[in-house]
Amino acid sequence: MSSNDRLTRWVQEVARHCQPDRIHWCDGSKKEYDRLMVEMVARGSAIPLRKRPNSFLFRSHPSDVARVEDRTFISTPSRDDAGPTNNWVAPDELKATMWALYEGCMRGRTMYVIPFSMGPLESPMAKIGVEITDSPYVVCNMEIMTRVGTRVLQAIEEGADFIPCLHSVGAPLAPGQDDVPWPCAPMEQKYISHFPQENLIWSYGSGYGGNALLGKKCLALRIASAMARREGWMAEHMLILRLVSPEGRQYHIAAAFPSACGKTNLAMIQPTIPGWRAETLGDDIAWMKIGPDGRLYAINPESGFFGVAPGTSYKSNPAAMDTLCGNVIFTNCALTDDGDIWWEQMTDEPPAHLIDWRGEDWTPERDKPAAHPNARFTAPTSQCPLISSDWEKPEGVPIDIFIFGGRRATVVPLVHEAYDWDHGVFLGATAASETTAANIGAVGNLRRDPFAMKPFCGYNMGDYFQHWFDMGDRLGDKAPRIFYVNWFRKSPEGRWLWPGYGENSRVLKWMCERVDGKVEALDTPIGRMPRMDDLNLTGLDIPPEDLRELMRVDVEAWRAEANDIEKHFAQFGDRLPKRLERQLRQFQIRLG
């Protein structure tokens, strides 16, 4: 229980309406976590992994495997305030629909009350939430992904504000009814709803990932982005990385990529250039405020990694693999015969036999993947061997560089730099990527994903673009430099042109040298690009023709891109900042 009247009244109201069998206030302890896992193993929801200490495999229902963007809502009094990139329902209507679904929805279950902090409690950037859920899987994940416990509850009781987050899997149990390993509601009953004016989150029907771990995308981005605009800070879908030169100079980089486009790999990069090293600060979310010195400071508000498993390997991301040696929750991975997990590209050759993510026998001859393409791991940030000693620094770290990017097989070169802040906002606002399994929709389609925030912006994105301009105006000459990258360009024959992974440090080194004024750049219609001699390629075996293709600016292709950008901007109507219109006109003039 709590001595905070607002919290107590809310918990009692939810309990009366949802009718759980019992209420449990979470303390975030190891004892609590272990007890819940024992219960889920006994129920058949969790499979202990013999090869990894204190690690467990879960299999979700096939209808509940990813974010459900078409069932995710931004509920504001005016449709225009939600904007064209969000699904909108009026608050009164949406609450009435969901409150009816919530009635009795926790019968036969325990209602867990999770007090959690996004960011270290002592950080001036931290925000507190309280999630009510009927899913022990959610409790255990939240205890990895956020800071859960009695210290948070104490802060609330001492007067700290909190964001109410209500979640149910939407699967009540009748007396004597057996539970299923992964309870959830049918797709048409799934709702992930945000009420930005009230700092309120309601989620119903899904038990998966960011649909249910409400500190993740719901609070850290959708609600936080609206709060950040009101309060004058930034909540971004960005990794945070520290790069250290041989001389010991530290550079802090925040980078935005759509899901499954290499964000975690870059966050845990191991540079291949002698003398350079990297430290991980965060792999997914950056909250940033202007510090007393006028620079932009960032914290990672999370305390865990919720990473895409397929494609992660000792070749692509050795630090991530070392992070996963124990104390991990795996979801929708395949199970090996000796009690370990496996996913596509984890090893050069798949095992001869597996139990796939659906619980069925699998052999390499099958034409279906063994792990779901959006299979995930939940692991403590502190276990990462590259984690920076400053990752929980309350005031954050000063950002030198912003990077935007996406997965593009053609058109976009390896790297280019914005001419200035406004041009950088234009690059972020026009970012595009070929879709992956982490998104709803056909894989491989080109999708505009401004700032990698299209699924996560909690208000009209035209206003969000303006907020970036406003922040740049406040930062002035202390604003970070802005770059755009594409690690995924292919040759006309379909070969990867860039080796990626640790070799991406060569591009990061060039950015740092640009920040320090050590190298010049070539002006092109799309931005400033490296001179070939300034990009350190020592030890790389890249044919000259591949390098030319990797850095080629095809003006005709970019003219088509500009036409598509014009259509993209048109959807925002009069909410599109005039400064973006000017950037588009200047871009078209440079293209000729």
Alpha-carbon separation of residue 531 from 228, 489, 534 (angstroms): 38, 19, 5
Give the global pTM.
0.96
Nearest CA among 434, 461, 440, 437 for reference residue 88: 461
Alpha-carbon separation of residue 211 from 93, 145, 367 (angstroms): 20, 14, 29
pLDDT of residue 441: 47
Cβ atoms of residues 258 and 493 within 8 Å: no
Cα(474)–Cα(492) distance, rounded to whole angstroms? Answer: 44
pLDDT of residue 259: 72
Residue linked to tokens 């976009």: 412
Tell me the three-class secondary structure of 341-391, residue by residue: EECCCCCCCCCCCEECCCCCEECCCCCCCCCCCCCEEEEEHHHCCCECCCC
**Position 561: which residue type?**
E
pLDDT of residue 439: 46
Sheet with 522-524, strands from edge to edge, namely 277-282, 239-244, 250-256, 401-405, 481-485, 415-417, 527-529, 522-524
Cα(255)–Cα(341) distance, rounded to whole angstroms? Answer: 30
Nearest CA among 512, 307, 281 for reference residue 415: 512
Q: At what angle do helices 578-591 and 421-429 cross, to 10 degrees?
A: 90
Q: Domains along the chain?
A: 5-45+69-232 (3.40.449.10), 235-302+390-591 (3.90.228.20), 305-383 (2.170.8.10)
Helix, strand, or coil (residue 261): coil
Active site residues: 261
pLDDT of residue 2: 79
pLDDT of residue 446: 86
Cα(362)–Cα(307) distance, rounded to whole angstroms? Answer: 24
Q: For the chain, what's the residue count? A: 592
Q: Where does residue 13 rank: exposed (0-12), middle (13-18), buried (19+ CB within 10 A)?
A: exposed
Cα(307)–Cα(376) distance, rounded to whole angstroms? Answer: 5
The tokens describing 307, both together, are 């990473």
Alpha-carbon separation of residue 408 from 310, 482, 485, 540 (angstroms): 19, 19, 10, 22
**Residue 522: φ, ψ to 5°:** -95, 130
Helices (H) and strands (E) in the chain, counts: 16, 31
pLDDT of residue 445: 80
Alpha-carbon separation of residue 20 from 23, 106, 149, 350, 392 (angstroms): 7, 5, 22, 44, 36
Cβ atoms of residues 246 and 276 within 8 Å: yes
Close Cβ partners of 523 (under 8 Å, ≥ 6 residues apart) = none
Ranges of residues in the chain whose predicted pLDDT is under 70: 260, 436-444
pLDDT of residue 444: 57
Q: Where does residue 227 rank: exposed (0-12), middle (13-18), buried (19+ CB within 10 A)?
A: middle
Cα(513)–Cα(507) distance, rounded to whole angstroms? Answer: 10
Helix, strand, or coil (residue 113): strand
Cβ atoms of residues 57 and 335 within 8 Å: yes
For 461-503, write each residue's pLDDT tens digit: 999 999 999 999 999 999 999 999 999 999 999 999 999 999 9
